[in-house]
Every structure is written in C-alpha cells, then in structure tokens.
A and B are shown apart, each in its own frame.
Chain A
C-alpha cells in the first residue's frame, strides 16, 4: 500500500512485498493490517446483519431456520465487538498515536506484531467453526449462544461438539492480542513522547489511547480469566459454571460483564479521540476545556469499572444492589455530558468547514446524544425491567455502535486516509456516503426502539403477527439497503481514491498535530528529525509564530 504512493521506492518482487508485510513490526503497516482485517470482517458481519434483517422484516418468516438465525446473531455480535470494532480502533491508534507524539514506532514493535497476529488468528478461528460441524449448508457448527454466551448454554450438555470451543479459543486469543495492544499503548504514550511533550501537552488522542490501554489491561483480563474457566469446564471437567455440582451461572454473568461493560468504553474512548481531533480542526479552534476532557476521560475509565451489573437488573439482585448499580451507571452520564458540552463549546464561535470528516463527526455528536439519553433509561433499573433484553436495547447499543462508533470511524477514515495513502478520498462520494448512510441508519435504528417498547424481545428468529411490531421491523429492514449502498460507495471511494485520488500533500486539512508535519504516507522512520514541541498544537505554533499556543497553556 505504502509503496504504491511513494514514487521513489525500489521495485520489489511480489513475494518480497508479501514477506515484508507478514514480517513487519512497523506500527504503520501493522495499523493498516488491523484496519484492512477489520474492514473484511465488517463486510462479513454486515452480510450477517442483512440476513438477520431479511428474516425479521415480516412476521412468521421462514427465510432462515432458527438454528441458522441463532448462529448468525452470535457471530454478528462476536465479530462486531472482537474482530471489527476492537481491531479497527487499535489499528487507527497504532498508526496515528506514534506519529502524533513524535515517535518513530510503538514502544514494543514486535509485541505489536504479536498482538495483531493473535487477533487475526482469533478471528479466523471463530469462522473456522463453520467447518467443524456436520454440514456447511446448515451453517456448520458455528456457536449459537449469543455473544455474551450465558452459562449453561456453553456447557457440554447444551453445546455438544466443538462450537463453544472455537468461540472460547478465538476470544481467548483475541483477548491476548488486545492485552498486548493495551500494554503497548500505555508504554508508547508514557515513554515514547518527543521532547517537550509533557502529559499536559499531549494531543487528546494520545490521552485517550492511554486511558484505552489502561482500560484494556483491567477489562480484557477478566474476560480472559473467565474464558480459562470455561475452557477448564469443557476440557478438564471442572465445575465453575456447572449447576449440577453447585456452581453458579450468575458468576459467569458477573465475570462477563466486568469485562463487557468497560468494553463499551474501550470501544467509545478511541472514538472520543477521533472526534476530539476532527472537531477542533474543522471548527478552526483549539479544543475547549482540554483539562476537563482529560479528567472526564480518566473518570469514565474508573467509573466504568463499577457499573457492570446494570446488565443484570433482571437476574434478581437485592434492591440495594440494584440501586447501587443504578447510581454508578447514572454517574457516567456526568463526564460524558462534560465531553459533549466541550465539543459543543469547541464548535461555538468557530468557522466550521463541512468537509466529510466533519460531517460524520457532527453526525456522531447528535447520535451519541440520543444514544446516551436512551442509555440513561436503561440505567434506571425498573425501566430496565421492561426494556432490558428487548429491541429497545438492540436499538440503543446500535445507536451507540453504529451512530457513534461507526460514524466516528468513518470520520477518522476521511480524516487520516490522506495521511495513510497520500491521496484524498473523493469529497463528492464522501458526501453521498454520509447522507445515504445517515438515512439508512435512522431508518433502521430509530424505528427499532419501538418494537422494544411494544414488548419484542431480542434474539427471536421470528415473531407473531398482531403485536404491532411488523411495520417497524419492515422499515428497519429497508434501512439496511441504504446502509449497504452507502458502505459500497465508501468501499468504491477508498479503492478508486487509492488508485487515482488527488494528491494529499503533507497537511491537507491545515491541521495542528504532529502527524501532519511529515510526508503522506510517512516514511518508515516517521520523522527525519525527532520534533520538539512546546504546546498541544505544535503546527499551530509554526503557522502562527506571532501568536503561538504555548503562551497560553
């Protein structure tokens, strides 16, 4: 990829190029591999989503058998969390963070490569399960117990054969890869900064990836521990989640959600980072309230560790336990609100340029607002007794994941694609992508709230007519067409722009962080001379020598 855009590279044989990529420890190459890998799985999970929506478009449908449907939603969820969202965000962090802090690589390049390959093999193993079963026509033996895999559905009694083993091993491997990435992010941000970049002068993205790294360490590890227990149960005949021997299946829920909820923040914090870079640059203003943004990010990281059981309001905790988790969960709204208001204040009084990255970022702001507010309804335990495990929840987390995370990832693509390839993405296609995706997103996920309010539980392969759910499900399924078209435009745009897009130059957005101070794409060593900075916006200082930032920080 990189050799394509730099005109003066020596011609290499294809084998040498393959070897170079497979054996690389360069953070940019690894970052790109993460991103491409995640995009492939994004297409896979998108196809799964389409099949699911076709089946649910009308009542009593028979497009899919219940067995296949259950496998599809399990793989859709597992893939989405572990093999799309995580790798793509880690990939962007890998590519951008060292550039942003003026480093020549991550702290541990080989650990970085190790992490990528563990994640990669984890994903392949998950889909290997298709070939492990009786027949491929029946969707093989893919796991069919949902992405949070509540015991005892994963026990040998309810998951005969090796389906659960594939799932278990793939999550375990992916988890090890993520922990490697987490260690690397923390070490890189703390120990690889260029001269002058004190903690208080790091770009927000570096701060947020630091918090991300720390959060990975303390959240993915419990999942890894729980997977070890599951493995012991399945292979060694242990009894961790074995009710017959007095084991507790509720313990699995606790262990899973101790991972599962902070995981939500593992996914959203890098997106906060993208937004915190894109919004200031396209508003032409410094981020408003930098210290408050840092404090809010760190406090979200800490508070998120004490909220997990809000996924368990219906499992019969005592009333004081429920009340405790209501309080901790609602408290998260405070730092999250601080972030939204700071972005708002950054927009305020700016000169907002609506290039495609900014359009997706603004879409994020509106949709994240709605996703956050519906999150508060779910944090209210009694309301959750009605809404929990209904389509309202499905709508809520897709609002956050698609409307929030996906939109910010698209913003990141349009923003950093020029840096990664040396070529601009086409703005016209980008705007078509934005508007069509926006329409599709709202058609699909706004409407999905309503069947939830009307009593439709999630994970049902079909439903009865006459419950008032049909029309909403139909609209929702139609929205998928728009989203699919928009993603195709995006893919076409990436391929076409990569081949013949306009040349980007070093700094197409007139931005302020260090990655824009080097060539596009950057050389393997990133910077010919390690830069020295004096403020949070080193390129602003250069462009405005009469009025540099460091005078005010």
Chain B
C-alpha cells in the first residue's frame, strides 16, 4: 500500500499521536465534570428552599485548614512530577508523600466536620433540602478525594519499594491530572457551599 505514494510520505514529519493516557484521563474528567455540574445545579437551585432548619449559616464552619491543604497539595504534586522527570526520585517521594499527607488532612477535616454535624447538631441527609444537597455534593467530592488518596498511597508504596522510575513520569502525570481535577472541583464546591450558599 505504501509503495504507491512513497514520495509524499518522505516529506512528512514523523507520525505522532496524542498520549493515550492523557486523552483517556481528560475524557474521564469531562464525564466527572458533567456529574458534578448536575449536583452543583441541584445545590444552587435548592439554596434557601428548605422548609425547615437548620440553615447553612447555623451549622457550616468554613474548612479553612482543609482547603489550604488540598489546594497546596496540587502544588506539591506538580513539584513531585517535575522531580521525577529530572530523575530525582528522592525528591519525588518526598513531595509525593507531602501530597498524600495534605490530602489526608483534608479528608480527616471533612470527617471531623461531618461527625460534629451528625452527632452534635443532629443534621443529616434526611433533615431538609440543605442536608440532602450538602451531604451529596460534599460527599461526592470527598469520595473522589478518597479514590485519589488510594491512588497516591499505591504509588507511595511502589516508591518505597523502589519501583518508580523516571520512565513512569507520564503515568504519574496522568494520575496528577485527576488530582488537579479534584482540587479544581473543590474550588467550585467551596464557592457554592461556603460562599454562595451560606
């Protein structure tokens, strides 16, 4: 087949295609974004429509520490990838561990917040529309953080076993896209829940 047109192929640049991993992860992120969009739309639509208390102002405490931790974990994740690309595996494992720790602090903060609301305030998903939308939206995000933490922990274990090499940069980078997405969603969720809805 190629014999017929050998002359034109010679002048062309080498055949290159987009990274399979990145395309797949971006697709997953698009699908996830659509899911979050629906939950956020429901949240915004139901702001102030609860027929009974408590109101967001009465129970919500702004998770400042958790938010700072989660957002800065994006930065450490970025540095970790940069380190791996330069084959600095020690630095990579340090930053990777910090990312994992920051994410864990966030999720522990959420857990403490929920525990307080459920056991102290008696505020659950059944209480009113606010409870319904709050627990589902924040819970959806938290479940994504947990999935991310599992991934981070797996890579951490492999790193400690000395299996992660600079050759794995692209795979780690694909995973980092997911983590950045989880962080970016938190910015939107935070704005919706703690600024708009409060």
Contact = CB atoms under 8 A, between A and B. Distances in A.
A219 B34 CA distance: 8
Contacts of A229: 39, 42, 136
A98 interface: no
A392 to B, nearest CB: 31
Nearest to A237: B126
A218 interface: yes
Contacts of A247: 46, 129, 132
Interface string A204-229: 00000000011001111110111011
A248 B140 CA distance: 21
B132 A232 contact: yes
B37 interface: yes
B9 A532 contact: yes
Interface string B1-16: 1101100110010010
A225 B42 CA distance: 10
Contacts of B45: 248, 251
A190 B129 contact: no
Which of the four size classes fits the interface of chain A?
A: 35 or more
A236 to B, nearest CB: 5
Nearest to B139: A232
Contacts of B39: 225, 229
Interface string A176-219: 00010011001100111101100000000000000001100111
Given A191-B17, A531-B1, A221 B136 contact: no
B4 A548 contact: yes
A108 interface: yes
B49 interface: yes
A392 B192 CA distance: 43
A246 B129 contact: yes
Contact of A236 (B4, B49, B51, B125): B125
Interface stretch (B25-33, B69-77, B92-100, B109-117): B25-33
A226 B4 contact: no
A240 interface: yes
Contacts of B8: 534, 550
Given A107-B20, A196-B9, A222-B37, A183 B28 contact: yes
A532 B27 contact: no
Nearest to A183: B27
A2 B28 CA distance: 33
Q: Is the interface of A mostly helix, strand, loop or mixed?
A: helix
A224 B33 CA distance: 12
A106 B27 CA distance: 15
A187 B35 contact: no
Nearest to B29: A217
A190 B136 contact: no
B38 A255 contact: yes
Contact of B24 (A108, A255, A548): A108
A548 B5 contact: yes
A541 interface: yes
Given A107-B20, A191-B18, A531-B1, A221 B128 contact: no
A237 B27 contact: no
Interface string B32-69: 11111111001001100111000000000000000000
A248 B129 CA distance: 10
Q: Is the interface of B mostly helix, strand, loop or mixed?
A: helix
B160 interface: no
Contacts of B32: 221
A237 B5 contact: no
B19 interface: yes
B5 A534 contact: yes
A545 B77 CA distance: 54
A400 interface: no
B50 A246 contact: yes
A246 B38 contact: no
Contacts of B133: 240
Nearest to B36: A225
Contact of A224 (B5, B17, B35, B51): B35
A187 B24 contact: yes
Contacts of A264: none
A160 interface: no
A285 B32 CA distance: 42
Contacts of B18: 190-191
A225 B38 contact: yes
Interface string A312-355: 00000000000000000000000000000000000000000000
Contact of B9 (A238, A251, A534): A534
B136 A228 contact: yes
A143 interface: no
A306 to B, nearest CB: 14
A239 interface: yes
A550 B5 contact: yes
A240 B1 contact: no
A222 B35 contact: yes
B192 to A, nearest CB: 15
Interface string B130-154: 0111011000100000000000000
Contacts of A255: 38, 42
Contacts of A246: 46, 49-51, 128-129
A40 interface: no
B184 interface: no
Given A240-B132, A245-B128, A190 B15 contact: no
A222 B1 contact: no
B5 to A, nearest CB: 5
Contacts of B38: 221-222, 225-226, 255, 258
A413 to B, nearest CB: 28
A221 B35 contact: yes
A245 B24 contact: no
A538 B3 CA distance: 12
A542 interface: yes
30 contacts: A107-B20, A179-B31, A183-B24, A186-B23, A187-B23, A191-B18, A191-B20, A217-B31, A219-B34, A221-B31, A221-B34, A221-B35, A222-B38, A225-B34, A225-B36, A232-B125, A239-B126, A239-B132, A240-B132, A240-B133, A245-B51, A247-B129, A247-B132, A248-B46, A251-B42, A532-B2, A534-B4, A541-B1, A541-B5, A550-B5
Given A225-B36, A232-B125, A532-B9, 16 more contacts: A107-B20, A187-B20, A187-B27, A192-B17, A217-B27, A217-B34, A219-B34, A221-B35, A225-B34, A225-B38, A225-B39, A238-B132, A238-B136, A246-B49, A246-B129, A517-B1
Interface of B: 1-2, 4-5, 8-9, 12, 15, 17-20, 23-24, 27-28, 30-39, 42, 45-46, 49-51, 125-126, 128-129, 131-133, 135-136, 140
